[in-house]
Chains A and B, each alone.
Chain A
Amino acid sequence: MTSGRDQTGIRIGMWLFLYTEIILFGGLFVLYAAYFHEYPKAFAEYGKELNRVIGAANTVLLLASSFTVAASITALRQHSKRLCLGFLAISLGCGAIFLVNKYFEWGHKFAIGLYPNSKALAGAPPGKNIFFGLYYVITGLHGLHVIIGMTLLAISLVMVHNNRITAQRYALLENSGLYWHLVDLIWIFVFPLFYLIL
């Protein structure tokens, strides 16, 4: 019973919103690139201060959760509701561990005095100040998107459980999934730009 609902239209609406997100983060990446051009040595030096192991772990977590979100839609449409709920729960778990890692990472930076307007940064050379400024703005905004994405996935999970999202009517799950994949996309660029630059 899909008549009367424009499934393609619903997805187009979500994509239009995703375009604005792409441009938003695109603008921040341009800012990063312009300052990388200005202070290549400083960026390479301070990039090494970030923890590659946590960064890599978070990359794997987000990639895996993107897979489980995509798989949850396949499961739902093949009428295996329990599998779908399981996949969504795993995705939420991955998102939560990502945020916990982020908490420890930021916490460590704060402990050694690297935070916006700290004494160590205020008097630092411009390259250092800008690198950590961009680091906090971009990973912070990305973290906010992780929280929003997890909220959408949690709502979808409850609605699947209550049979309000079904194999015939799953637009909300689909669009929450698209949002979650976008969060993953952004991280795919954030990780090499901040953690892996030489």
Chain B
Amino acid sequence: MKPATDTGEQHLLSYTALALVLAALLVLTGITIWVSYHDLGAFNVPLTLAIASTKVSLVLLFFMHLKYEGRAITLSFVGTICFLAIMIGFIFWDVAYR
């Protein structure tokens, strides 16, 4: 078996690692549902989005192997998120101060 980096093959994750990620995702889903039944005022939306972002990061990093990818994919992904942030940021800027 050659090292994964030499062949361009995707990193191989063990069942245990994948199961741990799934467990974390299910726990976070439970927390977000629990939180939704409690009114936290101004923290409602930020907390819900923070939990969703954590879940998305777990899926991206481990299920989609982003943690183990080379520079081309990592940088282009970060670039996409930057463009998304620009789109969201500027529209909010407009909507909030209209």
Which A residues have a C-beta under 8 Å from some C-beta of B? 2, 6-9, 11-12, 15-16, 19, 22-23, 26-27, 29-30, 33-34, 37-38, 52, 56, 59-60, 63-64, 66-67, 69-71, 73-74, 77-78, 174, 177-178, 181-182, 184-185, 188-189, 191-192, 195-198
Contact = CB atoms under 8 A, between A and B. Distances in A.
A149 to B, nearest CB: 13
Given A181-B59, A188-B59, A15 B77 contact: yes
A9 B70 CA distance: 11
Interface in B22-39: 22, 25-26, 29, 32-33, 35-36, 39
A66 B63 contact: yes
Contact of A8 (B8, B12, B48, B62): B8
Interface residues of B, number: 49
A181 B64 contact: yes
A43 B95 CA distance: 17
B19 A67 contact: yes
B95 A37 contact: yes
B73 A12 contact: yes
Nearest to A174: B10
Contact of B60 (A8, A23, A29, A185): A185
A197 B44 CA distance: 8
Interface string B40-64: 0000110011011001100110111
Given A8-B73, A198-B44, 13 more contacts: A7-B9, A8-B70, A12-B72, A12-B73, A19-B76, A22-B80, A60-B26, A69-B63, A178-B64, A182-B64, A185-B60, A189-B56, A192-B32
